[in-house]
Amino acid sequence: MRRVVARYDDPADATEAEEDLRKDGYDPERPDIENPFFDPSARPPEARGLLWGGLVGGVLGAILLLAMAMDMIWFPRLSPILSAGRLALVTFGFTIGIAIGGFIGGVWGLSKDVPEAEGPRVAVSVSDAEVDEIEDRLRTHDATVVEDTVTSHGD
């Protein structure tokens, strides 16, 4: 079984979604989530830190190693890696930059508070086979976020 949670900006849209699900025999609810960390519809701040940290780090790493390959800068201990081609160096710099930047961004994101989600939520428990259909139905009522979590596994 999975629990699908949708967040809406407009309470009328949430009510319409609940009525639509009730017509077909589902039992939707308005979940009270005391801690936003456990809200599946809330995006954790470390995800944003990982994304931006990885992108910035990747670009800076690629630029740094490309500049080294073009003899614009020189670091004595890193000189042996310059025997690789420029494409390999840019790829290596991008990869290392993503790893370092993503780590720093994730740590930075963890220091931030999880934002309190605005707007009503609608939650419904469905079988694994029905998840895609229910997510599509919730999105047709203008859900801003639709996420699902596994609540129990079958035998």
pLDDT of 155 above 50: no
Q: What pLDDT, on the 0 to 100 scale, is given for residue 33?
A: 62
Q: What pLDDT, on the 0 to 100 scale, is given for residue 39?
A: 59
Percent of the chain predicted with pLDDT > 70: 79
Answer whether 123's CB lies under 8 Å from 14's CB: no
Taking the CB of residue 58, how many other CB atoms lie within 10 A of it? 20
Lowest mean pLDDT among 12-16, 71-75, 110-114: 110-114
Would you kindly state where each structural domain of the chain is located, as residue ranges? Answer: 2-42+116-150, 45-110
Alpha helices per DSSP H over the chain: 11-23, 45-69, 86-110, 131-140
Percent of the chain predicted with pLDDT > 90: 0
pLDDT digits (tens, 9 = 90+) for 80-101: 666 778 888 888 889 988 899 8
Round the CA-based radius of gyration of the chain to a whole number and report it.
Answer: 23
Q: What pLDDT, on the 0 to 100 scale, is given for residue 28?
A: 87
Section 36-64 average pLDDT? 75
What SS3 class is residue 147?
strand
pLDDT of 22 above 70: yes
Lowest mean pLDDT among 6-20, 22-36, 120-134: 22-36
Section 62-89 average pLDDT? 78
Q: What pLDDT, on the 0 to 100 scale, is given for residue 37?
A: 53
Answer yes or no: CATH 3.40.50.620 is held by domain 2-42+116-150.
Answer: no
Please enumerate in sequence order all residues whose Cβ is within 8 A of that of 138, keeping only pairs 6 or more positions apart, or say none.
Answer: 4, 6, 17, 122, 146
Taking the CB of residue 26, how many other CB atoms lie within 10 A of it? 16
Q: What pLDDT, on the 0 to 100 scale, is given for residue 92?
A: 85
Q: Which two tokens stand for residue 138?
A: 């919730």
Question: How are strands ordered across the β-sheet holding 2-8?
Answer: 121-126, 2-8, 143-150
